[in-house]
Amino acid sequence: MKRYLMTPGPTPVPEQVVLSMSTPIIHHRTDEFKGIFKETADLAKRVMQTKNDVVMFSSSGSGAMEAAVSNVLSEGDKAITVSAGKFGERWGKIVKAFGAEAVELTYDYGDYAKVEDIENALKNNKNIKAVYIQASETSTGTFHPIDEIGLMLKEKYPEALFIVDGITAYGAIDVKTDNWNIDIGITGSQKALMLPPGLALLSVSEKAKDVIERNKNRFFYFDILGEIDAKAGKFTPAVSLVIGLNTSLKMILDEGLDNVFKRHEILAKATQEAVVALGLELLSKKPANSLTAVKSPQNISSEDIIAKMKEFGVEISNGQGHLKGKIFRIAHLGYFYKPDILMCISVLEMALKKLGYSANFGDGTKRAMEIFLDE
Amino acid sequence: MKRYLMTPGPTPVPEQVVLSMSTPIIHHRTDEFKGIFKETADLAKRVMQTKNDVVMFSSSGSGAMEAAVSNVLSEGDKAITVSAGKFGERWGKIVKAFGAEAVELTYDYGDYAKVEDIENALKNNKNIKAVYIQASETSTGTFHPIDEIGLMLKEKYPEALFIVDGITAYGAIDVKTDNWNIDIGITGSQKALMLPPGLALLSVSEKAKDVIERNKNRFFYFDILGEIDAKAGKFTPAVSLVIGLNTSLKMILDEGLDNVFKRHEILAKATQEAVVALGLELLSKKPANSLTAVKSPQNISSEDIIAKMKEFGVEISNGQGHLKGKIFRIAHLGYFYKPDILMCISVLEMALKKLGYSANFGDGTKRAMEIFLDE
């Protein structure tokens, strides 16, 4: 059975990337690898649109999230965490795990953060050291307006660090790290960077470095300043993933950042409009261009839709937390192009029909085709 | 740009096959390789449904076609060649190149051979040594009724050899080599066997061996009996292709021959019905399950359709000979599953619309979805 992976991470790995990772492994303490590592970090800066240092951890994205807490917050420090899904909740959990206080700004799953809410929270809570948020909340496919939030912080609360989990955003959505005042931006290898899981990236501003230097919390492995000093990994870096990242970042830059973002925008639009044409409802009030979360029709569990699509070889994702069984998520970040979306929507339509939902049969794919023809 | 290869050879190579071909190369005169070679030939016999010897040439399929002429026909010998497309014509050319006489039975491109025509040709021409035909004529996507022809020959002209080019048939269409009296059956690696080009397979009956032994023509490289004697290649075999073939044949047998044929049948049916639903016409009077040849709508060159589909990353094939620009060919033999067809038909629809043909927009993909849901 041929597999068609449409999950929001891992995402398909391009053949060129696989090939580059399959070259003979080299030792990480050689000039050759140091050169590759430095070049890769520089390429990552360009994709992350920052002049700040970018460090790489051999970990999942959550490892970099932990670093962004443990390195920044001392015990008793106060931070705002925006929670509108599973990954927003994770910020709260990590902050508490490190003995700091989380002022949690909670939204319904599918809703997005309002800049005024964050401003009010900062007004009502003194000494907020950092604001933690997602650019794209992967559990709901929602984009938080981090551009507005970042600029508000810069203007009104310049002492607070702005820390953004961009794991399903960087490389898919136009996240302007420096222009949007992001002190720490985070991403993972297995999303729009088109790699297997195992590598996390973290950009860190000079302002953040100052805070980290004065911080007293406990950490050892996830040592941001230590990684910057070490040049090519404080600990053994994931050599083949770094080499693969070098290839995939070059692919992204060769296609052109604007073209990559535009591609994701069109794939997202086609997916969103296709499911709406089928009479389905989007979960998100502000859908992200990286993945689309769709409410399952009444009386049909999203688990059944996912299982039926799997019979055709197409793998999409379930909801998380209390949305399990209630929504399904289609990814279109990374190595995806128009034919992939057309295929996925057709297979979704067949799965729905098999489960007794036959409204507007054929209209989803047709709508996606129309969107693609329009541009 | 991601590529979606839908051409009738080469066809996509499964990851498992690529991986097996990427293992360290071994020397061909070792017991290890001899074992792999023998096992592969045995697997090929099962896929080709024969107890006859199967030899492998490092060549394109045309090399095996040449072998089936040069080894069988002496100068001045007479053979019937069935010509209803570019590859049927090739039989005539090869027969003449080796100084034998070709009684060419010619049909229009898209038409198929009639068993009575072949019977009449045998009646009207004495001493026909062999009948050369395609199982599936790749240039027109047509299936010749080689089952009927084979059984007629067995009953009425048992002295004539029945030689079938099954290059786009074996592994996609249920070709029963032994039951259908096929003395020499031929296929190539880059079709339903899901490999890169470079390997040709040829099955040879005991009756054919007797004829070859008495034959006086000139050949050196394409030496069928020499290959049988040599056990693991008279000349250096294409080691990695043989190893890849071992993997792909196991994939086919693991899926089950009947399942593989049924899959090809359904993909073919969906493709045929989808293009008809779009108001297009099939070229073939007896479409093969391996590829579908479609007449381009009036005033639209198939070259333009192909170019427009290529803009979306999908690669299909043009017509050959005088049909260039007039037809296009969509492959569905080998590593293809339902999502691939849905994707291809959607992209075809978008290409047609871009070229001003908008009849029944959306109906093609919808029809393919219906076919897939029906079974």
The answer to whether B160 and B150 are in contact (CB under 8 A) is no
d(CA B289, CA B229): 35
Structure tokens at B375: 């079974």
Half-sphere exposure of A4 (CA within 13 A, CB side): 31
Please name the amino acid found at residue A261. F
Sign of CA dihedral B359, B362, B365, B366: negative
Which residue in A339, A346, A366 is closest to B4 by CB distance?
A339
Number of helices (H), then strands (E), belonging to chain A: the values are 13, 15
Instruction: Write down the pLDDT at residue A217.
Output: 86
| Contact at CB, A313 and B4, closer than 8 angstroms | no
Residue B280 has pLDDT above 90, yes or no: yes
| Contact at CB, B346 and A350, closer than 8 angstroms | no
Which residue ranges make up each domain of chain B?
4-8+256-374, 16-255
| Contact at CB, B339 and A313, closer than 8 angstroms | yes
Specify the 3-state DSSP secondary structure of B291.
Answer: strand
> pLDDT digit string (tens) for A3-42?
999 999 999 999 999 999 999 999 999 999 999 999 999 9
Residues paired with residue B128 on neighbouring β-strands, in sequence order: B78
> pLDDT digit string (tens) for A117-149?
999 999 999 999 999 999 999 999 999 999 999
Which residue in A313, A339, A365 is closest to B313 by CB distance?
A339
Q: pLDDT grade, residue B217 (50/70/90)? A: confident
Query: What is the share, in percent, of chain A residues with pLDDT greater than 70?
Result: 100
Query: In terms of CATH architecture, what is B4-8+256-374?
Result: Alpha-Beta Complex (3.90)
Which residue in A312, A346, A350 is closest to B346 by CB distance?
A346
Does CATH place domain A15-255 in 3.40.640.10? Answer: yes
Please name the amino acid found at residue B179. N
Half-sphere exposure of B318 (CA within 13 A, CB side): 16
Structure tokens at A297: 């029709």
Query: How big is chain B, counted in residues?
Result: 375
> pLDDT digit string (tens) for B92-131?
999 999 999 999 999 999 999 999 999 999 999 999 999 9
> For testing the chain A interface, which of B345, B350, B358 should be mutated: the one with the most A CBs within 10 Å?
B350
Structure tokens at B260: 């593989």
The answer to whether A171 and A187 are in contact (CB under 8 A) is yes
> Chains A and B: how many Cβ contacts under 8 Å?
97
Sign of CA dihedral B103, B108, B114, B116: negative
What H or E segment, with its residue span, contains residue A67? helix A61-70
Angle at Cα B165 formed by Cα B162 and Cα B166, nearest 5°? 110
Q: pLDDT grade, residue A1 (50/70/90)? A: confident
In angstroms, what CA-CA distances link B363 with A361, B141, B348?
Answer: 11, 23, 12
Residue B375 has pLDDT above 90, yes or no: no
Instruction: Write down the pLDDT at residue B231.
Output: 85
- DSSP secondary structure letter of residue A321: G
d(CA A365, CA B361): 11
Which residues on chain A are in Cβ contact (under 8 Å) with B353? Answer: 369, 373
Instruction: Write down the pLDDT at residue A79.
Output: 98
d(CA B38, CA A230): 54
Which residues on chain B are in Cβ contact (under 8 Å) with A346? Answer: 339, 342-343, 346, 365, 368-369
| Contact at CB, A365 and B346, closer than 8 angstroms | yes
> For testing the chain B interface, which of A365, A366, A371, A372 should be mutated: the one with the most B CBs within 10 Å?
A365
- What DSSP string runs through B5-57? E-SSSS-PPPHHHHHHHTSPP--TTSHHHHHHHHHHHHHHHHHTT-SSEEEEE
Structure tokens at B372: 């897939």
Which residues on chain A are in Cβ contact (under 8 Å) with B312? Answer: 337-339, 372
> pLDDT digit string (tens) for A281-323?
999 999 999 999 999 999 999 999 999 999 999 999 999 999 9
Give mean pLDDT, residues B154-181: 98
Query: What is the share, in percent, of chain B residues with pLDDT greater than 70?
Result: 100
Residue A231 has pLDDT above 90, yes or no: no
Instruction: Write down the pLDDT at residue B21.
Output: 97
User: What is the distance of C-alpha A314 from the center of its chain?
Assistant: 22
Which residues on chain A are in Cβ contact (under 8 Å) with B313? Answer: 337-339
Which residues on chain A are in Cβ contact (under 8 Å) with B333? Answer: none
- What DSSP string runs through B296-363? PPTT--HHHHHHHHHHTTEE-EE--GGGTTTEEEEE-SSS--HHHHHHHHHHHHHHHHHTT--TTTTH
Instruction: Write down the pLDDT at residue A220.
Output: 95
d(CA B257, CA B275): 27
Average pLDDT, chain A: 97
| Contact at CB, B343 and A340, closer than 8 angstroms | yes
Tell me whether residue A298 is exposed, middle or buried, using C-beta atoms within 10 angstroms of its C-beta: 0 to 12, 13 to 18, 19 or more: exposed
Which residue in A312, A344, A365 is closest to B338 by CB distance?
A312
What H or E segment, with its residue span, contains residue A277? helix A257-277
Which residues on chain A are in Cβ contact (under 8 Å) with B352? Answer: none
Which residues on chain A are in Cβ contact (under 8 Å) with B1? Answer: 337
| Contact at CB, A346 and B339, closer than 8 angstroms | yes
3.40.640.10, 2.40.128.20, 3.40.50.300, 1.20.210.10: CATH of B16-255 = 3.40.640.10
User: What is the distance of C-alpha B133 from the center of its chain?
Assistant: 11
The answer to whether A169 and A291 are in contact (CB under 8 A) is no
The backbone torsions φ and ψ at residue B82, rounded to the nearest 5 degrees and listed phi first, read -95, 125
Which residues on chain B are in Cβ contact (under 8 Å) with A365? Answer: 342, 346, 362, 365-366, 369
Please list, in sequence order, all residues whose beta carbon lies within 8 angstroms of the beta carbon of residue A37, skipping any fewer than 6 positions away. A28, A56, A231, A232, A233, A237, A242
Residue of A nearest to B13 (CA): A2
d(CA A212, CA A73): 8
Q: pLDDT grade, residue A104 (50/70/90)? A: very high
Which residues on chain B are in Cβ contact (under 8 Å) with A335? Answer: 2
Distance from CA of A374 to the nearest CA of B (A): 10
Distance from CA of A346 to the nearest CA of B (A): 7
